[in-house]
Structure 1
Amino acid sequence: MKIIVIISILLLLGLLIYNKHKPHILFALVGIFYFLIGYIDYKEYFIGFTNSALITLVLLMVASIAIEKTSFIDYCSKKIFSKSYKLSILKLGLISCFFSAFLNNTAVVASLMGVIKQNKFHSASKLLMPLSFFALAGGTLTLIGTSTNMVVNSFVIENKLESLKMFDFFIVGLGICIAITVVLMFFSFLLPDYKNDFDEIKDYIINTKVVSGSSLINKSVKENKLKQLQYLFLVEIKRKNRIISPVSNDEIILEDDELIFSGDIQYISILSNFNGLKLCENVELNKLNLVEVVISNQSSLIGKSVKEVSFRAKFDAAIICYKRANESIKKIGECVICAGDSLILSVGSDFASRDNKGKNFHIISKMYNPKFNTKQSFIILSSFVSVILLNVFNCIDIVKGLLLLLMFYIGAKYINIDEIRRRIPLDIIIIIGSSLAITRVLISSGVAADFANLIVNTFGVFGNYGALVGVYLMTLLLTELITNNAAAALSFPIAYSSALSLGLSPYPFIFIVAYAASASFMTPFGYQTNLMVSSAGNYKFMDFVKIGWIASIAYSLVVLIVTPMVFKF
């Protein structure tokens, strides 16, 4: 049994690192495998899906639909920026950490990205990465600040321990927020200073096609004055299966040629001066209605090519430009969609009413981001805060409180059933439910104890604190390689077994796992908000590494010093 469990866990870890399959599918397959071969029974497998922490997480994510539509974040965001960069960073940190403590991190980042890109004082690349880091730090302040904390709490409850409280995370989390703020203020020179996309959107690729009857046909590039455009540059010509690049002035334009331009999309209308030149998806250049979006990590489009998802029919929108990190995609139709990709869409009149856009996109443009008025926003926020406070003072169970709150939001028409259906976090539900079953197998088979003994024997020479550091480093490595929730799911049984083998309180080890699983600063892939800002800020991979390692060290020092002081062995 032990050999099969070890092989299956190593295979799961390898596939998670390979990142070609969705984590919730992999966790589900391993859980089902254990069920089918008899390592767990029917009740043990499915009881994880009724875990109270999981139910709380789902209710919170659904209730947050209404909170995200309040005008409070927009109001606060207008007060952030000034000529002083460090003051702007400080205010950005205060606002984003506060909201991230109680709201979904991706929603906070999505709400502030547009404001950052439109600010007139500082380039977006100097602010978007800090925004993601602040959202990550703010999530460590409370139990509901990030799904990772709720995932860890689900394991706590499953192992018959006392559930974690709302503000158990606060003291260490506050230290984290302060540390990240200091790093970003004093090491901001390591952040790239790319041209602000709002002022000048460079290096976008624009695909056009020469249609029948065009005045460009049978004339050279020079005669058509295609290389005399001030803001756009003719990069290449696609002719059937042939690519012409670089393009000479003497090249003759033929019917059905695809002309690929690079440059500032704000001046795309210049191309309308050329008769018979249309965007590749047959969009009339003089009827452009542009919206910028980022692909959500919950999108059903991920892993599929633009062509196979029938993008235009699905969303009543044509992709004008497609960016991944700092790279512009030339062959849009063949591109396989990834979370965090940045798209500029030319949208039709039906785009606003499509009910599938909310799950697939974070809309950076404010065009389709309606907000509640001040009175409605106050009612929504005050009712949410009331439920949280009633739970903190043990006046109401959090699940019952959130159910009542959700019924109120639906009754007041702040959210509707379609929105709830789209926002049910099916991937997180499957990961948590399946990982609880996997955890039982890891513990019952003795594999978790073996890994725990390895950590204790390796780091235990430094005492109990050494074992704690070992668990932290293991989880930190995993969260940089795989998703934060998956890292927490794999690390928890090992951390729990380590505490038991040493005869210590499990809580320092439990909190170490929670904090370490959220400590993803050095890559754009380790955390969903890093992915979101990656394309929008034109960041390269090394941009994250340059400042991310300093943020990671500062974060780790706070966690490793303060956690054992707050949660005694």
Structure 2
Amino acid sequence: MTWEQILVLVVFFSTIFGLAFTNKRPASVFAASMLLLLLTQQLSLEAVLKNVTNTGLVTLVLLLLVSHSIDKTAFIKRLGRAIVRKSFTQSFWRMFAVTFSSSALLNNTAIVASLIGPIKQNQLHAPSRLLIPLSYAAILGGTVTLIGTSTNLIVDSFLIEHGHPGFNFFDFTLFGLTAGLACAVLLFFLTPLLPNIASNENSYQSYLLEADVEAASELIGKTVEENHLRNLPELFLIEIIRRNVVMSPVTPDMLIEENDKLIFSGNVQKMDNLAHIKGLTMFAEADGLLRDNLTEVIVSNRAPIINRTLKEVGFRALFDAAVVAIRRDGEQISGKIGELKLQAGDFLLLATGADFQRRDNITKNFFVVSEQKITRKLKPWQEAFTLLGFVSTIVLAATSMVPLALGLLFFTASLTLINVSSIREIKRHLPVNLILVIVGALSLATALESSGIISLATNGLMPIIGDMPPVYALTLVYIMTLLLTEFVTNNAAAALMFPFAYGIVNAMGLPLMPFALAVAFAASASFISPYGYQTNLIVFSATNYKFKDFVKIGTPISILYSGIVLSLLTWVYL
């Protein structure tokens, strides 16, 4: 073994150690490995730049950017509101069906982030009995199609890198769908083992928000429970004002009527969940002022508007702003926002007009605290274009009429042209850390292959694996990847294991496809540890789970999933 090979091996094992046993971010670990290989000339700059433009990586980045636009639509939010029912069985299967099917086409992390709010806030079942199943459903759904998870696209990029045409859109479907549905049944029977624990305390400051029920609203004539108003993420319906009468507390069987004013308390950054309810309008939205940003102000102790209501001072005309929400520390407030008497120290969230900053009365009345970013509601035609455009792009790619990367590129550009997204949002949502992980992993794999490490390792293993049945070799690759993914990220596990799987395939003269699929499925099979997959980490942080909760539920799921995937891969390919 040459000193160059020893150096590459040291970098390789140091990378695994850094990922598994330090608190450094995977992007930092891979970036350091890549820079070290460049510095020691074990990797060329041309090879790194080639990895940056890898088709699989470009596809993944575009898919993530498109997912942010789809998340602006009401589609997932409406599904989320309808998940929880009185029956735990119905709630489980609704949650699993929505998450599993959505994750097959959309980024599973975004799906979990969108659905975690309604599940955490539900008042019928302990969130801890649904959150781990939510994460597992997203993981399982991601294995059904090529674009279901970034892991599949990373392995696809390796295939293309090695001269293979890559995966077809539905190459994963037979294995992922069979394993996913079987694991769903097992997961349901394992739910009694999940703990009944309360959610973590909310970290946000609760504001009072008011929304009007307009004529022909979808809410009218149905109860609070039927409208799923008790399942809004971090927003609580505390009062209904009807014909100037305050109705509180709000019970699940209360009917919603036209012209009702619904008073919510909660996180203002979740008010987009109200905007997606048809016929429910906030004052600032009706007044044409509600935009992407809200300005948070505190009423000054010398403000002339103290002890007067918003209506009395003519707030809109006086400041070119509308009050979206109000918070008063140390005191619970109720009633119509427009009829509350303002006090010194009140926090107001304002939707401001173009003239707000130029008014000379702002500093006399307020201390400006900060700006709050909110999600802008899409127009109906923008929503329709976003959803139909995405489905069309996927259909064209699945039927091989248009390459997926090309379709996503034009779709992303069209979303920018119709103002669903913007260049600023694209810059803000660009997954720089993920790009560093993938480019770093691809570059490390390039160094392992170009230095001869892979050939050396496979030649050394030939006396052992030479007469090994193909199914044993496939199982070995799968188990090694599965163990690695529980200690490092799923993307890193796929990128680090593929070169070794490729070496074994060449040494034994076996078909590449089952081994590539084995790496992809094993890298996604992070059920036992909360740290191996981002959706596990999200739900782990959302409530007071313990590590043993994942081990207890995840171990039988992992065994069943692995057994089905390996059996089907052997049956189809070997």
With normalisation by structure 1, the TM-score equals 0.69
Mapped pair 1:504 → 2:507: no
Kindly indicate whether residue 50 of structure 2 is the aligned counterpart of residue 47 of structure 1: yes
1:58 is matched with which residue: 56, 61, 69?
61
1:184-195 superposed matches below 5 A: 184-195=187-198
Q: Which amino acid aligns with 1:10?
A: F
Q: Which residue of 1 aligns with 2:214?
A: none
Q: CA deviation at 1:449?
A: 3.4
Distance 1:430 1:34 in 2: 15
* Structure 1 residue corresponding to 2:434, chosen from 428, 439, 460: 428
2:527 maps to what in 1?
Answer: 521
The code of the aligned residue for 2:544 comes to N
Task: Determine whether 1:468 maps to 2:474.
Answer: yes
Change (3 A) 1:347 1:470: farther
**Any gaps of 5 or more consecutive residues in structure 1?**
207-265, 267-287, 294-314, 318-345, 354-366
Would you say the 8 A contact 1:101–1:141 is kept in 2? yes
Question: CA separation in 2, counterparts of 1:171 and 1:316?
Answer: 52
Measured after TM superposition, the shift of residue 316 of structure 1 is 7.7
- Superposed, 1:388-407 pairs within 5 Å as 388-407=394-413
Q: How far apart are the structure 2 equivalents of 1:60 and 1:404? A: 12
* Structure 1 residues 350 and 154: alpha-carbon distance in aligned structure 2, compared to 1, 3 A threshold: farther
Query: Can you list the C-alpha shifts for 1:335-376, whole angstroms capped at 9, x where unaligned?
Result: xxxxxxxxxxx99748999xxxxxxxxxxxxx9455535543
1: CA distance, partners of 2:465 / 2:123: 51
The match for 1:34 among 29, 37, 40 is: 37
Mapped partners of 1:347, 1:475: distance in 2: 52
Equivalent residue for 1:71, pick from 74, 93, 100? 74
Please give the alpha-carbon distance, in whole angstroms, between the structure 2 residues aligned to 1:411 and 1:71. 20
Structure showing greater radius of gyration is 2
Is 1:386 the equivalent of 2:392? yes
1:163 maps to which residue? Answer: 166
Q: 1:131 to 1:348 in 2, by over 3 A?
A: farther
Deviation digits for residues 172-224 of structure 1 (CA, Å, limit 9, x no counterpart):
110121122112111111111124x4xxx67x899xxxxxxxxxxxxxxxxxx
User: Partners in 2 of 1:29 and 1:462 — Cα distance?
Assistant: 37
- Partner Cα distance (1:163, 1:140) in 2: 16
483, 487, 511: which one pairs with 2:493?
Answer: 487
Inter-partner Cα distance in structure 2 for 1:189 and 1:455: 45
Instruction: Give me the whole-angstrom Cα distance separating, in 1, the residues matched to 2:42 and 2:480.
Output: 26
Q: Counterpart of 2:141?
A: 138
Partner residue of 1:182 out of 182, 185, 192: 185
2:83 and 2:466 map into 1 onto residues whose CA distance is 47
1:81 aligns to what? Answer: 84
How many Å separate the matches in 2 of 1:110 and 1:437?
31
Q: In structure 2, what residue type is equivalent to 1:399?
A: A
Contact 1:71 1:373 in 2 (8 A): no
The 1:456/1:185 distance shift into structure 2, 3 A limit, reads: farther
Q: 1:133–1:180: 8 Å Cα contact kept in structure 2?
A: no
In the TM superposition, what is the alpha-carbon distance from 1:387 to its structure 2 partner? 1.1
- 2:13 corresponds to which of 10, 14, 29: 10
2:570 corresponds to: 564
Displacement of 1:418 after TM fit? 1.5
What corresponds to 1:446 in structure 2? 452
Deviation string, structure 1 residues 460-497 (Cα, Å, up to 9, x no partner): 76511101111111111111001111111111101111
Deviation (angstroms), 1:97? 0.8
Aligned 8 A contact 1:82 1:88 in 2: yes
Distance 1:7 1:374, change over 3 A: same
Distance 1:462 1:352, change over 3 A: farther
**Identity, % of aligned positions:** 39
Code of the residue aligned with 2:163 in structure 1: it is K
Which whole-Å CA distance do the structure 1 matches of 2:478 and 2:348 have between them? 49
How far is 1:402 from its partner? 1.3
Deviations 1:424-444 (A, max 9, x none): 111121222222222122112
Deviation sequence 1:380-435 (CA, Å, 0-9, x none)? 11111111111222222222211211111011110111211111111121222222
TM-score (norm 2): 0.69
Alignment partners' CA distance in 2, 1:72 and 1:110 = 14
Name the residue aligned to 2:542: 536
Residue correspondence of structure 1 range 98-177 to structure 2 within 5 A: 98-177=101-180
Q: Indicate the residue corresponding to 2:551 in structure 1.
A: 545
Provide the rounded CA distance (Å) in 2 between the counterparts of 1:113 and 1:352: 31
Write out aligned runs for 1:233-252 (5 A).
none
Q: Please, which moves more after superposition, 539-548 or 388-397?
A: 388-397
Q: What secondary structure is seen at the aligned counterpart in 1 of 2:143?
A: coil
Is residue 423 of structure 2 the alignment partner of residue 411 of structure 1? Answer: no
Equivalent residues of 2:77, 2:114 under 8 A apart? yes
- Return the alpha-carbon distance in structure 2 between the equivalents of residues 38 and 12 of structure 1: 18
Structure 1 residue 452 displacement after superposition: 4.3
Which residues of structure 2 form unaligned runs of 5+?
Answer: 205-235, 237-264, 271-294, 298-345, 354-372
Shift of 1:557: 1.0
CA distance in structure 2 between the partners assigned to 1:351 and 1:496 by the alignment? 57
In structure 1, what is the Cα distance between the partners aligned to 2:146 and 2:80?
25
**Cα deviation code 1:55-110 (max 9, x no counterpart):** 11111111111111111112222332223222321221111011111111111011
RMSD between aligned residues: 3.0
Of 416-425 and 35-44, more deviation after overlay is shown by: 35-44
Give the aligned length. Answer: 423
Give 1:298-313 correspondences, 5 Å limit: none
Distance in 1 between the 2:115 and 2:515 partners?
A: 34
1:228-274 per-position Cα deviation (integer Å, ceiling 9, x unaligned)? xxxxxxxxxxxxxxxxxxxxxxxxxxxxxxxxxxxxxx9xxxxxxxx
Q: 2: CA distance between counterparts of 1:18 and 1:454?
A: 28
SS class of match (1:187): helix
1:552 is paired with a residue whose SS is helix
1:358-377 residue pairs with structure 2 within 5 A? 368=374, 371-372=377-378, 374-377=380-383
